[in-house]
Chain A
């Protein structure tokens, strides 16, 4: 079955960067888009960006555009999110999610499988 397993919790100081991994299994990693979504404590979901693991193309939300990087390692079926210049407002649970749509057509936002989440805490 499709499974996304994320890296463990992180505690970072303001101004630092964090790198989160999302290891996929149970399907062909390069066949489906990967989205990144975060959720601040007690808040709703916030879309951060999308990556095409086949061609490494990415698109991020405007508010993150200058400090987010999404990459992948196809040899290990792992997607990565790097968020830099962290502030306390970046304290949140970060999720990767697979788009049910395959990469030969535009993504649909059909988020059919989710990682377990990675808690990132930014504190001095």
Chain B
């Protein structure tokens, strides 16, 4: 089965730009979804279909993909963006999904 890898933790200064990445051998053939999870809460969808934002998600969140690496970029993150971010993508088999291990974002 496919494996999707994320850096465990990333930090960024308030207002700077941060890129959170997700690497996996199935990513180039499947759209990647990005979820935000804050402590004690259910995950929230922030990016789907590579670079689409649900209503209510600020436009500072953006998604992209290059080769086998998908990225979530946050332009000028705010304190409330501090959370764990998970990517999820379709498995190589095409009928299952696999989550990345999550990246804990700290906004300094």
Contacts and interface: CB of A to CB of B under 8 A. Distances in A.
Interface of A: 35, 37, 44-47, 50, 59, 61-62, 95, 97, 100, 108-117
13 contacts: A35-B97, A45-B37, A45-B43, A45-B102, A47-B88, A59-B96, A100-B45, A109-B30, A109-B97, A110-B45, A110-B49, A111-B43, A116-B42
Interface residues of B, number: 25
B61 interface: no
A59 B86 CA distance: 22
Contacts of B58: none
B43 A44 contact: no
B89 interface: yes
A59 B90 CA distance: 13
B48 interface: yes
B54 interface: yes
- Give the dominant DSSP class at A's interface: strand
B48 A50 contact: no
Most B CB contacts (10 A, CB to CB) among A100, A109, A112, A116 go to A109
Contacts of A115: 42
Given A108-B48, A111-B88, A59 B42 contact: no
A114 B33 CA distance: 14
Given A45-B102, A62-B1, A108 B43 contact: no
A37 B96 CA distance: 12
A117 B42 CA distance: 7
Given A45-B35, A111-B45, A111-B88, 9 more contacts: A45-B86, A47-B97, A59-B95, A61-B96, A95-B42, A100-B48, A109-B30, A112-B45, A114-B42
A83 B54 CA distance: 32
